[in-house]
Amino acid sequence: MTVSTEGHTVRRYDGELNHLHYLVLEMGSLVLSQVRDAVEALNRRDVSLAQTVIGRENAVDLGEVNADSEIVKLIARRCPVGGDLRLVFAVAKSVTDLERIGDEAVKIATLGLHLFGSDTGGADPNRLLLRDIASMASLALRHLECGLQIIDSWDAGKAMELIQAHQTLDEEFQAGLRRLLTFVMEDARNIGFAVNIVLIIKALERIGDHARNLAEYVVYQVRGQDIRHLAEHHHAA
């Protein structure tokens, strides 16, 4: 793991920047596990695994607190400028997005309990209703994995590729909403299940949005370009 710094004569400073990089990657690994387990809990109808995801929420929150504390200390000690300041900014913003991804994982696990837990009266949703969860989960996980790899390598080229590919996730979400609406119109008994499933695929879409944000922060750190929101403006035009 190597952080692109300004080439300081003080090795301790380089070590502190590398430590920030390590903290965000460590938090990213935990959050990725949370999302994977939340999705797996849905796939296996595993109430115990869903509860485990919910129980690990504090660990994600603690990771955010620790990283924020180290960022504040480094700024106070070193007063970073230029590329170093962009790196600190990228790490700080990434930590916030990772914490929010952790929240979405907990939301998915909680909704899974509603779908398959005791409050359903023993009924399971139609498997066709669940199809969109699988496709959205696959895309969201792919985006998140790619986003974390990009932060690990600070690869602005791959970051741009992920940003450009993000529209696929948005399109899949919209298609899923249309399919779910069709099921509800055909059989009103699907409404309760459909509401939970819509909330799940929305959480997965948000995970993809946060992964795109990670890529945008890397572009900013490496190239000094703030490209946030530019993709949305382009599509709107």
In a domain, 6, yes or no: no
In a domain, 120, yes or no: yes
In a domain, 138, yes or no: yes
The pLDDT value given to residue 231: 52
Write out pLDDT tens, residues 39-80: 999 999 899 999 999 999 999 999 999 999 999 999 999 999
The pLDDT value given to residue 57: 96
In a domain, 5, yes or no: no
Check which CATH number belongs to the domain holding 47 and give it.
Answer: 1.20.58.220
In a domain, 150, yes or no: yes
In a domain, 3, yes or no: no
Write out pLDDT tens, residues 72-83: 999 999 999 998
Write out pLDDT tens, residues 87-101: 999 999 999 999 999
Write out pLDDT tens, residues 150-174: 999 999 999 999 999 989 999 999 9
* Residue 126, domain extent: 11-236
**For every residue of the chain, which 3-state class applies, written as one string?**
CCCCCCCCCCHHHHHHHHHHHHHHHHHHHHHHHHHHHHHHHHHHCCHHHHHHHHHCHHHHHHHHHHHHHHHHHHHHHHCCCHHHHHHHHHHHHHHHHHHHHHHHHHHHHHHHHHHHCHHHCCCCCCHHHHHHHHHHHHHHHHHHHHHHHHHHHCCHHHHHHHHHHHHHHHHHHHHHHHHHHHHHHHCHHHHHHHHHHHHHHHHHHHHHHHHHHHHHHHHHHHHCCCCCCHHHHHHHC
In a domain, 166, yes or no: yes
In a domain, 183, yes or no: yes
Q: How many domains does the chain have?
A: 1
